[in-house]
Chains A and B, each alone.
Chain A
Amino acid sequence: MIQHHPSIDRLIAFSAGSLPLSQSLCISAHIEHCQQCRQDIRRLNHIGSTLIEELPPSPVPDALKQAVMERINQIGPRNSEDTAAPPGSGDVPRCLRSLLPAGLYNIPWKRLSPSIFGAKLCTDVNGSKIEMLKIKAGGQVANHNHTGEEITLVLEGSFSDADGVYRKGDIIFRNCEDKNHRPIASQNADCICLTAVEAPIQFTGFFARLLNPLIRRSHYSS
């Protein structure tokens, strides 16, 4: 049972199409697991459609209609590519299909510490980094503070921190006010997460401070 959902403000922005990609990806992966939020977004979509219906129509040039009619004439009969998109391979959410073509179990992980593995997916235009993260069963991410927001979505296994336990489909938002956030994976299984981090996070503690300049490559090295 999913316990941790995005706020209504984020669902609105997702429905309106105004969220940055980094956040949209995490929310999209969440709603694939969460019927409740899917329902909310479908409800919210009616706002967009009703607002458009009530706009004063803007007259369209004749040439534009001709151009569109010509384009559809060239399309011809439907080809098989137009059918509904296939589901992702393995347990990969559909929004990550193009970023994880080999599936969730064939990710080219980079070892960041004995118990933490990461794989960079992409960087958003706003600088947010989107990464996959694997915490070995029982493994712990080093103490870190955030300078920007970190969004985590659990795809496999579970982890916990001082505030609770997070399972498959749960989405967690952490910002700089959350001090010493220290996730630990459950003992019985590896935990695989999708993460989006707004700005580099800082590790706390003496040795970690020494390491900080070296670990900017990933947000989770320790």
Chain B
Amino acid sequence: MSAVNAIIDVKELQQLIELVARDRDQQAFSQLFEHYAPLIRAYSLAREPGAYLVADELVQEVLVKLWNKAHLYNSAKANANTWIFTLARNCRIDYLRRNGRYATEVDPEDLYDSLEDDSADPFEATQQKKTAQKVREGLKQLPVEQSQVLAKVYLEGKTQQETAGELNLPLGTVKSRVRLALQKLEILIRGYGQ
């Protein structure tokens, strides 16, 4: 998939989500299912290879949530893929919570709710679009050793400590690979002490 195609795709996907929100359009929803379900299934399998039932359950939860929350999606705020990622991540936490691997008292949605607060800021929206673009282009060009670490953290849900253990590396090496990657993706802008 070329970068140009991917951008067109994102716009189409955004329109489909808007159709679901406005008209409860099942045809549009069906197209969204075709696009996202196999990716969400792959996301779940990255964390638990071979756990197909878990993966199918996650697909169901995320897609039903997409249907229920489509009206809260705002294409000026976030691109469609990033919005779906946040739904999938929250559903993953919720799954872990229902299975006793995460404390039960708090709804994961409540943890990430305040990220919606700056939606009225057009400057911030422009910045985020730039970052999304930069990450999309930059991720492919990262050295494998850097993208591998990001994949462990984001897809497999590993801590940096667990990542270091699995790759047989000192924790400091993992941390510095993450930092280098963030610098290249222009995510690390302000200075971080520790």
Q: Which residues of A contact B (CB under 8 A)?
A: 7-9, 12-13, 15-18, 20-22, 24-25, 28, 31-32, 35-36, 38-61, 64-65, 67-69, 71-73, 75, 77-78, 82-85, 93-95, 97-99, 121-125
Tell whether B169 is near chain A: CB-to-CB under 8 Å.
Answer: no
Interface size range on B against A: 35 or more
Q: Which residues of B contact A (CB under 8 A)?
A: 6, 24, 26, 29-30, 33, 37-43, 45-46, 55-56, 59-60, 63-64, 67-69, 71-72, 78-79, 81-82, 84-86, 88-90, 92-93, 100-103, 105-118, 124, 127-128, 131-132, 135-136, 139-140, 150-151, 153-155, 157-160, 175, 178-179, 182, 185, 187-188, 190, 192-194
Q: How far is the CA of A97 from the CA of B113 in the complex (A)?
A: 12
- The 10 A-B residue pairs whose C-beta atoms are closest, nearest first, are A57-B38, A49-B85, A55-B42, A21-B103, A32-B114, A58-B41, A17-B89, A49-B82, A49-B81, A46-B135
Q: How far is the CB of A83 from chain B (nearest CB, A)?
A: 8
The dominant DSSP class at the B interface is helix
In the complex, chain B residues whose CB is within 8 Å of the CB of A57: 38-39, 41-42
In the complex, chain A residues whose CB is within 8 Å of the CB of B128: 42-43, 46
- Is B33 a contact partner of A55 (Cβ separation < 8 A)? no
Q: How far is the CA of A216 from the CA of B93 in the complex (A)?
A: 30
Answer whether A25 and B106 are a contact pair too, CB < 8 Å, given A45-B86, A68-B59.
Answer: yes
Q: How far is the CA of A60 from the CA of B88 in the complex (A)?
A: 16
- Is A69 a contact partner of B30 (Cβ separation < 8 A)? yes
- Is A60 a contact partner of B41 (Cβ separation < 8 A)? yes
**Which residue in chain A gives the minimum CB-CB distance to B128?**
A42
In the complex, chain B residues whose CB is within 8 Å of the CB of A94: 110, 113-114
